[in-house]
Amino acid sequence: MRVIRCKDYHDMSRKAANIISAQVILKPDAILGLATGSSPIGTYQQLIDWYKKGDIDFSQVHTYNLDEYRGLTYEDPQSYHYFMRKNFFDSVNIDLANTHVPDGADSDIEHACTSYDAMVKAAGYVDLQLLGIGRNGHIGFNEPDEVFSKGTHCVDLTPSTIEANSRLFDSPDQVPRQAYTMGIQTIMHARRIILVASGTEKAQAVKDMIYGPVTPKVPASILQLHTNCTVVADAAALSLCPNS
């Protein structure tokens, strides 16, 4: 696991965007795994800026997002599909037919999960997976558990995750209690992984991810076993790590 130490959120976002843009430039038809939440927004903004300057072309790129709230349609302003369009897709020249997000409106859990897994597998898995990390060490919506998950599955969100995501809703009561999320095994199939982290509230999770034991109690700790994983984090997120 490689760690890139950054000065602040802006520096973190630019360095992560550098890695993603290099992937797309070297392989114009790259398959990207994308994440939502506040951590990657700056990375998407930087990629949009470079696209507008003519430095990067997304016309052949395919994307697969990690997760979606169960019960929300693509058009719902709180859905992650809507989030991706607002924060990235609508501002670059990506073909929306090549973008994929779990179908939160599919009430059939087994169908929603197996169909998404089939799509990711048929694509050959992703070239580069962008991840954030939750305060409890979750990646995607893979919450602390007794075992590492495999394929896409439906999860009950923990109180800490609901609280963290409530800033995007009018009240915590409006945050969905379940989500469809890509499993740990699927994430680990990515040929390269980039995890971004910012802020002191992520410091313990980052320390546990990098230096703690590999355990499903800290889902992100599995990344220690990936052959090509880079953590891009600011000083605050690395404040509990050695030599920070």
Q: Specify whether 100 is catalytic.
A: no
Take residue 95 and report the two structure tokens written for it. 């073909």
Domain boundaries, given as residue ranges, for the chain: 2-234
On whether the CB atoms of residues 105 and 147 are closer than 8 A, the answer is no
DSSP string of 128-144, one letter each residue: EEEE---TTS-BTTB-S
What span, in angstroms and rounded, lies between the C-alpha atoms of 239 and 243? 9
Q: Specify whether 226 is catalytic.
A: no
Q: Specify whether 146 is catalytic.
A: no
pLDDT tens-digit readout, 149-206 = 999 999 988 887 888 777 777 777 788 889 999 999 999 999 999 999 999 999 999 9
pLDDT tens-digit readout, 213-238 = 999 999 999 999 999 999 999 999 99
pTM above 0.85, yes or no: yes
List the catalytic residue out of 68, 103, 136, 153.
136
What span, in angstroms and rounded, lies between the C-alpha atoms of 114 and 119? 9
What span, in angstroms and rounded, lies between the C-alpha atoms of 170 and 153? 27
What span, in angstroms and rounded, lies between the C-alpha atoms of 140 and 36? 9
Contact partners, residue 8, CB within 8 Å, separation at least 6: 198, 234, 235
Which CATH fold would you assign to the domain 2-234? Answer: Rossmann fold (3.40.50)
pLDDT tens-digit readout, 38-80 = 999 999 999 999 999 999 999 999 999 999 999 999 898 889 9
